Structure 1
Amino acid sequence: MTVGETRIHHAGKQLNGDAMVENSTVDDVFDDTYKAKAQKPPRILVWRNIILMSALHFGALYGLVLIPSASNSTLAWTAVCYLLSALGVTAGAHRLWSHRSYKASFPLRVFLALANSMAFQNDIYEWARDHRVHHKYSETDADPHNAMRGFFFSHIGWLLVRKHPDVIEKGQKMELSDLKADEVVMFQRRHYKLCVVILCFLVPMLVPWYFWGESLLVGYFVPGLLRYAVVLNATWLVNSAAHIWGNRPYDMTINPRENPFVAFSAVGEGFHNYHHTFPFDYATSEFGCKLNVTTAFIDLMCFMGLAKDCKRVSKEMIIARMKRTGDSSNKSG
């Protein structure tokens, strides 16, 4: 659901990642050869990832063919799985754990970790680490999905090739002690593969089969693979389309854009020029819940007492920034 300056703000302060070396031995979920090894010459293409991603998308196309044979209950369940998966990335890995833009209670953190496992986009620890690197070194070789390398690379290509050495080097130096101290994050990291098998594939498939007699075939390909592929692509559009197409009302000196289509598909993550200008804002948008299901969800969690301390940018600061660095496309100020 993966920027001018990358700063992780905490109540008006920032963490700039002062060299905390990561010693974890847990591998990326897609392939343990995904990380470059200093002692070996890098292989450019990661064929295992290419094969898996190709198979996933062919399976998703078959899921499209099966949609007419799916029951209404199964289609509704597919939408529920889509929303849960998306929130696990947007409200969880992104706004909570990457940016610490609000505080979540233990039950909410558990829920978001489960939803994040359903999304299957690497565990929270790796996702947040790479996202912090993306913000701090946006549009450079250290950016995991550097949009300067084109739409395809920033959308999916970055997962199909070895990481640039700068990505690995900068990632090892990021401040990640807050993630290591979170028992929910580290539990998910230790048991990630099992969590993915259960929550990304078995639960979406077995619930419609058990409760309303849907076929396992439809359950696997529609709420399973099709839903998973669509959530992946919606998240990737934030890295690709929202860095290429749209206006820049808050900072025209950076690539991230305001893209309403991405905001809709990624449940609120398409207000990307705003987000990269004010990365600590929990709403990632000047406009609250407009086209922003994730902000509405966090607001609901606050109302229920499960979240608190949402960080926000003042209207005065937004207007001042638009006048100073914006492209004059936003007339709200």
Structure 2
Amino acid sequence: MTETETRSHPAGDTGKQQNGHVMAETSTVEDVFDHTYKEKDGPKPPMILVWRNIILMSLLHMGALYGLTLIPYASSLTLAWSAVCYLISGLGVTAGVHRLWSHRSYKASFPLRVFLALANSMAFQNDIYEWSRDHRVHHKYTETDADPHNAMRGFFFSHIGWLLVRKHPDVIAKGQKLDLSDLKADKVVMFQRRHYKLSVVLLCFVVPTVVPFFFWGESLAVAYFVPGLLRYTLVLNASWLVNSAAHMWGNRPYDKSINPRENSLVAFGAIGEGFHNYHHTFPFDYSTSEFGCKLNLTTAFINLMCFLGWAKDCRRVSKEMIMARIQRTGDGSHKSG
């Protein structure tokens, strides 16, 4: 796929720096914002509730609340194991399905791709193929009817509501038109897709429960509700906050014309994914942030994998390009470091 500009510039902006050199803001996947898309006039399609998802999400969050009450009864080993499961499943989303498979911002060896696929199943947020497809649609049609979790429809919708209703027809239509040949060609991605349900049962629920129960005698209830349901729910909501809070609250030092914001609290919970104004401005950057490992465990993990020889070709934005973009489209809030 040929390289294309990541995002058209605001009206009247030629996309050039003051010295006349064209900005080389490029991406090699279909995460390029499409200004040619126009929402249809007239009334919106009726909202169709998906009752199965509503019931399951309600039960999950009730189980997580019960898990909170069991924390005082959990051993220190179980709490540490819960944190490990949180980190692993988080990396399955951030380093795996997001930065590797959705944006192809770096290359991963076969063993690393297998680990990230397993971690992604532990996170249980749809298989790699479907998650990547929807995320590319999100970048290509951000804050429009074709955006799966359009933040213009409010916090609740962009956080969890989009999972409780049928997709807007434009989301489906645009997703079907994307070039997903890279995902189809990845044997790890397609293997996980074929065996997704079984992998989720084993990695999201069975393994987090069995390890503390079997190895250090934790009660079955605590083992299931704390590292199991509570951990899973926390990872879900940390990821959802990137879609909701990071599209609503924070500053926009790189591009004030778009909704995504820099939100440090979201970055902390989502292990590095809260630098969202930067990410939507430069979606091809493997770090999703100007500041490397700062509040960004995912970048530290990818750097470690590079050091070990399991990852390579991390794509980065030059400091000069960043500063030129800040001066051209930023909101004036940028602080170096």
Deviation digits for residues 229-249 of structure 1 (CA, Å, limit 9, x no counterpart): 000000000000000000000
Cα offset, 1:332, TM superposition: 2.0
Is 2:291 aligned against 1:287? Answer: yes
Equivalent residues of 1:102, 1:311 under 8 A apart: yes
What letter matches 2:74 in structure 1?
A: A
Match for residue 120 of structure 1 among 108, 113, 124: 124
8 Å CA contact retained: 1:242, 1:270 = yes
* 1:26-41 aligned within 5 A: none
SS of corresponding position for 2:28: strand
Name structure 2 gaps, 5 residues minimum. Answer: 1-5, 9-23, 33-44
Alignment RMSD: 1.8
C-alpha distance in structure 2 between counterparts of 1:42 and 1:145, whole Å = 16
Which residue of 2 is the match for residue 14 of structure 1?
A: 28
Matched, 1:158 2:148: no
Deviation string 1:43-93 (CA, Å, 9 cap, x unpaired) is 710000000000000000000000000000000000000000000000000
CA–CA separation in structure 2 for the residues paired with 1:116 and 1:210: 24
SS at match of 1:311: coil
TM-score where L is the length of structure 1? 0.89
Task: Give the count of matched residue pairs.
Answer: 305
Do residues 79 (structure 1) and 92 (structure 2) align?
no
| 1:260-271 alignment runs, 5 A limit | 260-271=264-275
AA aligned to 1:311 is: R
Q: TM-score, normalised by structure 2?
A: 0.88
User: Contact between 2:137 and 2:175, CA under 8 Å: does it hold in 1?
Assistant: yes
- Measured in 2, the distance between the counterparts of 1:105 and 1:299 equals 14
Residues 17 and 174 of structure 1 are in contact (CA less than 8 Å); yes or no, is this contact kept in structure 2? no
Q: Distance in 1 between matches of 2:309 and 2:25?
A: 20
Instruction: Give a deviation string over 1:200-243, Cα, whole Å, max 9, x none.
Output: 00000000011000011111000000000000000000000000
For structure 1, list consecutive stretches of 5 or more residues without a partner in the other structure. Answer: 19-40
What does residue 180 of structure 2 align with? 176
Counterpart AA for 1:155: H
2:191 aligned partner: 187
**CA 1:101–1:166 in 2, change beyond 3 Å: closer, same or farther?**
same
Q: Partners of 1:327 and 1:42 in 2: how far apart?
A: 37
Contact kept in structure 2, 1:5 and 1:135, CA below 8 Å:
no
1:121 aligned counterpart, secondary structure: coil
Deviations 1:145-190 (A, max 9, x none): 0000000000000000000000000000011000000000000000
Counterpart residue number, 2:240 = 236
SS for the counterpart of 2:157 is: helix
**Alpha-carbon shift at residue 5 of structure 1 (Å):** 3.9
The aligned amino acid for 1:147 is A
Aligned partner (choices 86, 91, 98) of residue 102 of structure 2: 98
Q: Is the 8 A contact 2:151 2:244 kept in 1?
A: yes
SS at match of 1:288: coil
Structure 2: how far apart are the matches of 1:178 and 1:300? 25
Partner of 1:129: 133
Structure 1 residues 274 and 185, CA, compared in 2 at 3 Å: closer, same or farther?
same
Which residue in the other structure is 2:15 paired with? none
Partner Cα distance (1:321, 1:197) in 2: 45
Q: In the alignment, which residue of structure 1 is the partner of 2:329?
A: 325
Determine the structure 2 residue equivalent to 1:37.
none
3-state SS, counterpart of residue 315 of structure 2: coil
Per the alignment, do residues 5 and 159 of structure 1 end up closer, same or farther by CA in structure 2, a change over 3 Å counting?
farther
Greater relative CO, 1 or 2 (CA 8 Å, sep 6+): 1
Aligned to 2:142: 138
What SS class does the counterpart of residue 261 from structure 1 fall into?
Answer: helix
Q: Specify which of 232, 235, 258 is matched with residue 262 of structure 2.
A: 258
Identity %: 81
Residue type at the aligned position of 1:148 = M
Give 1:14 deviation, angstroms.
Answer: 3.3
Tell me the residue number matched to 2:13: none
When residues 108 and 318 of structure 1 are mapped into structure 2, their CA distance, relative to the original with a 3 A threshold, is same
